[in-house]
């Protein structure tokens, strides 16, 4: 994993990982679960993961703090939540959206722990949507963050999470969004 990280991020960025104990242990868990990391080109900032193919993709566009905290976020989806992804064909749209938003808030809370550890260690990144979420979470805890996820913009589609999840459920169930 160390070699992979050096190759992906360069030695400079890989060196920051040690300053976040949470991220260091996430990377250990990813290694144990044979999850691969990939950095993608392009100017859009996004992160995604696929639990089945055990692959996490982070865009280069986001800057180092965004990239590192996003690994922690996707780790929760791929490993901790691997048996907790609701099946859109087995639940109502409301239940599907609610449990996906719960998962999203849980993954993001974990990313914010890493974000905070990086900040405390003096690692600075450019300001982004996570900067705002960090303040919301620090002041209001998980409930405030969960509420915030409702209106957060999904990085792949640029729609709000709620809209994105409703459209996903509709597509799976053969209904017009």
**For residues 26 and 80, what is the distance between their CA atoms, to the nearest angstrom?**
10
Among 1-9, 30-38, 64-72, 105-113, the segment contacting Zn ion (CB under 5 A): 105-113
End-to-end CA distance of the chain: 41
Considering only residues 107, 111, 145, 148, which one is a binding residue for Zn ion as defined by CB under 5 A? 107
Residue 56 three-state SS: strand
Site membership for Zn ion, residue 72 (CB under 5 A): no
CB of 74 to Zn ion, least distance (A): 7
Among 17-25, 53-61, 103-111, 169-177, the segment contacting Zn ion (CB under 5 A): 103-111
**For residues 74 and 144, what is the distance between their CA atoms, to the nearest angstrom?**
21
Site membership for Zn ion, residue 71 (CB under 5 A): no
* Closer residue to Zn ion (CB): 14 or 165: 165
Instruction: Supply the Cα-derived Rg of the chain in whole angstroms.
Output: 16
Site membership for Zn ion, residue 101 (CB under 5 A): no
* Closer residue to Zn ion (CB): 26 or 104: 104
Among 22-30, 33-41, 101-109, 126-134, the segment contacting Zn ion (CB under 5 A): 101-109
Total number of residues binding Zn ion (CB under 5 A)? Answer: 2
Site membership for Zn ion, residue 97 (CB under 5 A): no
Q: Is the four-CA dihedral 119, 39, 10, 22 of positive or negative sign?
A: positive
DSSP single-letter state for residue 42: S
CB of 49 to Zn ion, least distance (A): 8
Among 6-14, 35-43, 96-104, 143-151, the segment contacting Zn ion (CB under 5 A): 96-104
Residue 93 near residue 169 (C-beta atoms within 8 A)? yes
């Amino acid at each position: 994993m160390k070699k992979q990280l050096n190759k992906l991020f360069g030695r400079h960025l890989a060196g920051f990982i040690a300053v976040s104990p949470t991220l260091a242990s996430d990377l250990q868990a990813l290694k144990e679960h044979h999850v691969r990391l990939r950095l993608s080109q392009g100017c859009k900032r996004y992160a995604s993961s696929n639990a089945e193919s055990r692959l996490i993709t982070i865009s280069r566009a986001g800057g180092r703090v965004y990239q590192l905290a996003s690994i922690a976020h996707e780790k929760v989806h791929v490993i901790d939540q691997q048996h907790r992804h609701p099946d859109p064909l087995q639940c109502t749209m409301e239940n599907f959206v609610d449990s996906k938003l719960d998962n999203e808030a849980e993954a993001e809370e974990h990313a914010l722990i890493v974000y905070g550890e990086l900040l405390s260690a003096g690692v600075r990144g450019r300001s982004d949507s996570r900067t705002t979420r960090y303040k919301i979470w620090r002041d209001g805890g998980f409930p405030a963050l969960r509420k915030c996820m409702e209106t957060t913009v999904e990085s792949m589609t640029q729609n709000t999470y709620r809209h994105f999840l409703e459209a996903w459920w509709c597509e799976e169930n053969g209904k017009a969004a």
